[in-house]
Structure 1
Amino acid sequence: MDRAQLAGFLRTRREALQPEDVGLPRGRRRRTGGLRREEVAALSDMSTDYYSRLEQQRGPHPSEQLLAALARGLRLTLAERDHLFQLAGYAVPHRAVRADHVNPGMMRILDRLQDTPAQVVNHLGETLTQTAPAVALLGDETRYSGLARSLHHRWFTDPATRLRHPDEDHPIHSRLIAAHLHAAYARDGRGSRAAAIVDALLAASPEFAELWREHPVQGAYCPPKRFRHPEVGDLELHCQTLVDPDESQMLLVFTAAPGSESYEKLQLLSVIGDQRV
């Protein structure tokens, strides 16, 4: 690990970021042109002291998970992310699809949606980051590890995942999720993470196995979805989707018709989300 180079790289990227780039107000008293250390630490879900020690060349050897969080917090490109890993002494493996790194452009859009339920999801159904209202609506979907990171896997193996939707809607969700996973498998092929999820589900879920044999195909239209929230009740929401050019991740934004009961409930959830955070 090259502490001096790592510290210099973190400092230059922090100073290059402007508050507006990450959805923060500039404020009248700001003297520095870039972000403050405490702001980068908050964006990366770590303590200010830990991040400061990295910039001062006296911190511990960061883990790969921590480096991935820094890459997201600093809005690094894939090339910059790989460089960060190399400076920290990690080999950068070849990745056919960079499904675990949020595109900086996606992050810039998400930063401007902090009062809206929105999240970035990769093609494997893994949620990479969420706004606070999205956590209030769906729960923290970034907390899982292993195969459970994938909504596709949780839907067919964890009954609690289905509690957010009315029972009568479960069959259509099952078919849509199976179709989405089928598209990911067709894209990535044997030996991929998508294939590992498919193999696990074929062994664990007769429902999935039956759907898989039908070769479901994902449609272009996404109809309104009904959600069942434990605190505000039922909502009917539209899910607007922005797909990254390489189609490895999507920005999902949940909206309701203005003036509707669901719209009022979304406003309440935004308040709940802020209080929980």
Structure 2
Amino acid sequence: MTTMAQETAVPVTRGSEIRRHELAAFLRSRRERITPEQVGLPRGTRRRTPGLRREEVAQLSAVGVTWYTWLEQARDIQVSVQVLDALARSLMLDASERAHLFQLAGTTDPTPAASCPSVTPALREVLRALEPIPACVQNSRYDILAYNRTYARLMGDLDAIPPEDRNCMLLVHTNSDWRAAIVHLEDTQRLMAARLRASMAGHLGEPAWKMLLKRLQTASPEFRENWERYEVVGTRTKTKEFVNPYVGHLTLEHTDLWLGPEVGARMVTYSPKNEEARQRLEKLYELALGS
């Protein structure tokens, strides 16, 4: 006699199998369309495989070759969000392809590339109303969830950065434009690492936080050094200096405006410290409107 549990288990298992095969086919198709030159690898003289080899994708994504091969063979293995993020970047997926990858894997993309329901139309209107003052909405992990036009040009061109990379911790450690724009870069990096450690105490083990930490530790010796200091610091208003590529030196007051009773999502504003900064922010806003 067949039980109800047995009857429902069959389609669930079949659905998982179909999704694994779709994921495997999708990964193969994305791998085969990328040339070695696109990712900084030599082509060699005996390449028969179109695009990248499996071992090359595994190397770029910092995963085992056998494990990645099993993934393309649709084996029944668990895939973490950290690995999916690494694969998405290695395979140069756009926003739609990245969303498709996470959907096939049966999980949620935890990066800013995914939409954030807390950023309401009303909140976006507040960001626009603050212009020419640069302002954005961040969570405690430093993901940039929304921003106005002046903020987009404060340290380069934020619109040109893929949504999954719009994280202040990543940008101050890996983006050349942001690093050049921050006057006291080393102090800023150390302070941000201390703030991240303080915030992470309430999110230990969460996939998105683990993914960000692994990426920072892999990409930045400066972050690894600061992280090993085990410093923690709370939030505070402070003066910050930038060298903007469009209007020059800016001295601004950084303020965090919390959006709820808990220390989580916040609106970050940079108001002018002096009249010179005010005039330059107005000029930056005009440039942003014309771009």
Partners of 1:183 and 1:101 in 2: CA distance: 25
Q: Which residue of 1 aligns with 2:151?
A: 134
1:199 aligns with 2:214: yes
Q: Which residue of 2 aligns with 1:251?
A: 267
- The structure-2 alpha-carbon separation of the partners of 1:94 and 1:164, relative to structure 1 and needing over 3 Å to count, comes to closer
3-state SS, counterpart of residue 238 of structure 2: coil
3-state SS, counterpart of residue 283 of structure 2: helix
In structure 2, stretches of 5+ residues that fail to align are 1-94, 97-105
Which digits, 9 at most, give the CA deviation of each residue in 1:43-84, with x for residues without a partner?
A: xxxxxxxxxxxxxxxxxxxxxx79xxxxxxxxxxxxxxxxxx
Alignment of 1:87-166 (within 5 A): 100-104=116-120, 106-141=123-158, 143-145=160-162, 148-166=165-183
3-state SS, counterpart of residue 207 of structure 1: helix
Counterpart amino acid of residue 228 in structure 1 = V
3-state SS, counterpart of residue 158 of structure 2: coil
Deviation at 1:149, TM superposition (A): 2.6
- The structure-2 alpha-carbon separation of the partners of 1:194 and 1:94, relative to structure 1 and needing over 3 Å to count, comes to closer
- The structure-2 alpha-carbon separation of the partners of 1:156 and 1:93, relative to structure 1 and needing over 3 Å to count, comes to closer
**Kept in 2: contact 1:128–1:142 (CA 8 A):** no
Alignment of 1:179-258 (within 5 A): 179-245=194-260, 246-257=262-273
Q: Which residue of 2 aligns with 1:43?
A: none
**Kept in 1: contact 2:137–2:267 (CA 8 A):** yes
**Kept in 2: contact 1:127–1:141 (CA 8 A):** no
Which digits, 9 at most, give the CA deviation of each residue in 1:142-198, with x for residues without a partner?
A: 5534762322123223333201112xx111111122123213322211242112111
Partners of 2:171 and 2:133 in 1: CA distance: 24
Deviation at 1:273, TM superposition (A): 1.6
Partners of 1:136 and 1:192 in 2: CA distance: 31
**Alignment RMSD:** 3.0
Partners of 2:163 and 2:109 in 1: CA distance: 20
Partners of 2:226 and 2:164 in 1: CA distance: 19
**Kept in 2: contact 1:185–1:195 (CA 8 A):** no
Counterpart amino acid of residue 253 in structure 1 = T
Q: Which residue of 2 aligns with 1:171?
A: 186
Partners of 1:264 and 1:94 in 2: CA distance: 40
What number of residue pairs does the alignment pair up? 184
Partners of 1:206 and 1:136 in 2: CA distance: 27
Partners of 2:128 and 2:192 in 1: CA distance: 27
Counterpart amino acid of residue 263 in structure 2 = E
In structure 1, stretches of 5+ residues that fail to align are 1-64, 67-90
**Kept in 1: contact 2:136–2:146 (CA 8 A):** yes
Partners of 1:143 and 1:248 in 2: CA distance: 26
Structure 1 stretch displaced more, 213-222 or 262-271:
213-222
Q: Which residue of 1 aligns with 2:26?
A: none
**Kept in 2: contact 1:155–1:174 (CA 8 A):** yes
Counterpart amino acid of residue 220 in structure 1 = T
- The structure-2 alpha-carbon separation of the partners of 1:108 and 1:275, relative to structure 1 and needing over 3 Å to count, comes to closer
Counterpart amino acid of residue 161 in structure 2 = Y
Instruction: Give aligned-pair identity as a percent.
Output: 22
- The structure-2 alpha-carbon separation of the partners of 1:99 and 1:239, relative to structure 1 and needing over 3 Å to count, comes to farther
Deviation at 1:243, TM superposition (A): 1.2
**Kept in 1: contact 2:131–2:285 (CA 8 A):** no
Partners of 1:93 and 1:212 in 2: CA distance: 27
